[in-house]
Amino acid sequence: MHQLWEIASQPDNVPIVALLFLMPFYIWYAFRQAVQTDKLILQLETNPALAKTHHRKVFPWKAGWDREVHVWPYLMRIEFLVAIIVTVILMIWSITLNAPLEEPANPNLTMNPAKAPWYFLGLQEMLVYFDPWIAGVVMPTLIIGGLMVIPYIDANPLGNGYYTYRQRRFAIWTFLFGFIFLWVLMIVIGTFIRGPGWMWFWPSQTWDHNRLEFAVNRNLDQIFGIDGSWLAHVLPQSWRGGAAIWARTIFGIFPLGVYAVLAAFFVHWLCVRTEFSRKIYQRMSLVQIVTLQIFMVTMLSLPVKILLRLLFRIKYIWVTPWFSV
């Protein structure tokens, strides 16, 4: 347990610890409001008359009250308040906790584990499951891209400007999945669970620098015993040498394809589960649907790959001479 404390007390990990508390809090905070709104929505939907007259907010409202208030002072004062509080927090934090400073940089003395800044640990964790070029380059690009396209593929006009769950189940779940599960959780794992040699240490375990692990990760084709022997007959003499490679390359495409199709269907199924979401789905243009599919499928591939790796010790699904997936 002291190990856990050691990590948590690392000055640089304090933000993550903070995150651990902030995240749940704000999720709860948001959902509390969402529930209220949803109540209201339900009420209005069942009672159109009310919908005509109601001011349609969960906040109190009386005729004659200003719809708008002056920024000065009503907003300003809050901003000042927040500024001050933040300052106070920051200063206390700074006084009580020193920014870390270790030995002078020494290229000959490798730190073990050598960890990236905490906010990139998610990506570093991904390295376990993917080749660097995916985890380190493709993923971030996709994440950024994915985030950017959200407004354009979300065809649901509802829930603009207020917390709601009922009206945006799909969107919210997707986001929570991506943000909390895939991003924050990975960071937490990278920080608290990964020890020397980037090996898996439960918080109760102490980081033993001499620990050794034995794990053979095989490629899917190896499991299926693809060696291209059959291909060798088909190919012209001169190509025989590369038979195995070609075989693998070709073979690899299938599982990926299969996955893509399945995942696509899954997403589709998600989108058409309720009457409402079907309606939204209707509104989407083809481009939007395709984009949505692409990103959803890729996103889903992460947990799938992680599972494959952790459960079946599968390294690559698709092996080609140039890159592997």
Partner 1 sequence: MPEENGGKGRTGLLGKVQQDAKALKEFVKEKGKEGLEGLKDPEKTQVYRSIFRVKHEDTPRSRALSVLTNVFFHLHPAKINRDAVRYSYTWGMGGITFYLFIVLTFTGVLLMFYYHPTKIQAFRDILYLENDVPFGKLLRNMHRWAAHLMIIAVWLHMFRVFLTGSYKRPREFNWCIGVILMVLTLLLSFTGYLLPDDQLGFWAVTVGTNMARATPLLGHEGPFGSQLGMTPYNDVRFALLGGSIVDANALLRAYIWHCIAIPLIAAVFMGLHFWRVRKDGGISGPAPVMLASEIKDEKGPRPVIMKPSGLDQHSR
Partner 2 sequence: MPETHSDDPVQSRSMSGALLISAFLLMLTVAWSLYDEFYGLRPWRSYQREFANVYAKYLRKKMPEQRDREKVIRSSAEYQQLKQIVDNAEEAAKPRLREIDRESAYLDKRLAAIQDTFTTARGKVTALIYEAELAPLDSASRKSRLEEVDKAKRETYALELPTADARVEKLKWNFTQIDSEFTTLKARKAALVAERGDVLKAAKDAREKRDAYFQEKMEGLTADQLGGLLRAAEGLDVSIHQVNVNPTNAGLNNFGSGGLVDRCQSCHMGTDSKFVPLAMTLTKKDLGLERSKDAPFTSHPEPELLKIHDPEKFGCSPCHGGNGRAIDSVEKGHGRYEHWLWPLHYAENYQAGCQTCHAADMVTEHAPVLNHGKELFRSRGCIGCHKFEGFDDQPERLLATRQQILQIEKQKKEYEIEIPRLNRQADQAPDNETAQKLNGQATNLAVRISGMDAKVEQLDRKSRSLLREDKKVGPDLKEVRMKIRKEWIPYWLGHTHEFRPTTKMPQFRLEPDQIQAIAAFIWQSGVAGPGLTKQQPGNAAHGKDLLQTRGCLACHSIGEGSNVLGGTFAANLSRVGEKDNYDYLVRWVHNPRERTRPYCPFEKRDLGPEDYAKHGLPFLFDLDHSKCPNDGHPLQVQQPTVMPNLRLSIEDARDVAGYLITLKHSDANYDAASFMDDPKLKGAGLKLVKFYGCAGCHEISGLEDESRIGTELTTEGSKPIERLDFARLTEDAQRGVLPDEKKAPRGSWYDQKGFFEQKLKNPAVYDKEKYRPNPLDRLKMPKPNVTDTDITALVTFLLGSVDQQLPREYYYKPADARRDIQEGWWIVTKYNCVGCHQVRIGQQSVLQTLPQYQGDNKIGLPPVLTSEGARVDPAWLQRFLANPALSTTDTNRNGVRSYLQVRMPTFSLSDEEIQKLVRFFAAASSQESPYVPPKLDTLTDAERTLARQLFTSPAAPCLKCHATGNPAHDKTATAPNFLLARNRLKPAWTNRWILDPARIAPGTAMPSGLFRREGERWIFNGPLPAVAKSFTGDYSDLLVRYMFQLTPEEQRMLLSRTPAAAGSK
State the nearest-atom distance from the C-beta of 121 to partner 1, in Å: 10
Q: How far is CA 245 from CA 128, 175, 229, 250, 317, in A?
A: 24, 39, 11, 9, 14
Sequence-distant (6+) residues with CB within 8 A of 30 are: 163
- Work out whether 194 is an interface residue with partner 1 (CB under 8 A): no
Among partner 2, partner 1, none, the one that 169 touches (CB under a kind-dependent 5 to 8 A) is none
C-alpha–C-alpha distance, residues 303 and 185, integer Å: 12
Residue type (1 letter), 6: E
Structure tokens at 269: 């199924």
Is 95 a binding residue for partner 1 by CB under 8 A? The answer is yes
**Among residues 94 and 285, whose Cβ is nearest to partner 2?**
94
- Least distance (Å) from partner 2 to the CB of residue 46? 28
d(CA 203, CA 271): 39
Question: How crowded is residue 31: how many other Cβ atoms within 10 Å of its Cβ?
Answer: 14
CB of 39 to partner 1, least distance (A): 11
Interface with partner 1 in residues 245-284 (CB under 8 A): 276, 279, 282-284
Contact 138/318 with Cβ under 8 angstroms?
no
Binding site for partner 2 (CB under 8 A): 60, 62, 64-66, 69-70, 74, 77-78, 80-81, 84-85, 87-88, 91-92, 94-95, 101-104, 106, 109, 112, 206, 208-210
| 120 contacts partner 1 (rule: CB under 8 A) | yes
Task: Confirm or reject binding of residue 59 to partner 1 (CB under 8 A).
Answer: yes
Residue 33 or 320 having the CB closest to partner 2:
33
From the list 8-16, 228-236, 257-265, 296-304, the region that binds partner 1 by CB under 8 A is 8-16
Count the alpha carbons within 13 Å of 275 in the hemisphere toward its beta carbon. Answer: 0
